[in-house]
Chains A and B, each alone.
Chain A
Amino acid sequence: QVTLKESGPGILQPSQTLSLTCTFSGFSLSTYGMGVGWIRQPSGKGLEWLANIWWDDDKYYNPSLKNRLTISKDTSNNQAFLKITNVDTADTATYYCARMTEGIGENWGQGVMVTVSS
């Protein structure tokens, strides 16, 4: 059974760096073709795909946010990470991670709410 769970700071201040962790089970990020993606959704609004990391450590970023995003993984501990630098109120959202197989976001975590506020 595949499960993913996101964790984060809950609240942080503008200009800080947001660090998110995705802890998963039921698959390995060392398996050929496997990936993890990060997606966010402001309350009551649409979805925005942020970044992907693949089994071979290939990384892809949303072009509009690329300069602020860093995705990484810890294969041994079944975790993936996302950092967003210099946050502001527009980064307030629920953040999801998803298992990707053959490029498809098959399984999603429950999401973690992040609020940016001074």
Chain B
Amino acid sequence: DIQMTQSPSFLSASVGERVTLSCKASQNINKYLDWYQQKLGEAPKLLIYNTNNLHTGIPSRFSGSGSGTDYTLTISSLQPEDVATYFCLQRNSWLTFGSGTKLEIK
């Protein structure tokens, strides 16, 4: 089984700040890494697929990068509506999620 470790578990940042969330796989996942945003009481929403491809309708302040075992989601300028929990998902071998990063506004 591929384990996905997200860090930090909790992040508090100011509006306008650049925010970086990390996801580390227990083995090479060949860039089969997606990011989801889940707001309170809602279903997860796809933000980025295959490491760095922005899903339709997602603001350009979201971006993804990485390779091998290490992946990053960056929000270039944090907005109030970005308050949510962010999950990474690897699809290289079955599908396993990270445990999430809860993002709040400072």
* Size range of the chain B interface in the assembly: 20 to 34
Contacting residue for B46 out of A49, A63, A106, A109, CB 8 A: A106
Contacting residue for A49 out of B43, B94, B100, CB 8 A: B94
A49 touches B95 (CB 8 A): yes
A108 touches B49 (CB 8 A): no
Q: Is B71 in contact with chain A by the CB < 8 A criterion?
A: no
Give the shortest distance, in Å, between A83 (CB) and chain B (any CB): 20
Cα A50 to Cα B9 in complex, Å, equals 24
Q: Is A105 in contact with chain B by the CB < 8 A criterion?
A: yes
Beta-carbon nearest neighbor of B55 in chain A? A106
Provide the residues of chain A in CB contact with B89, threshold 8 Å. 47, 49, 105
Cα A3 to Cα B36 in complex, Å, equals 18
Cα A56 to Cα B45 in complex, Å, equals 26
Q: Mark B15-27, 1 if CB is under 8 A from A, else 0.
A: 0000000000000
Q: Is A104 in contact with chain B by the CB < 8 A criterion?
A: yes
Q: Interface residues, chain A, CB within 8 Å of chain B?
A: 37, 46-49, 60, 62-64, 96, 103-111
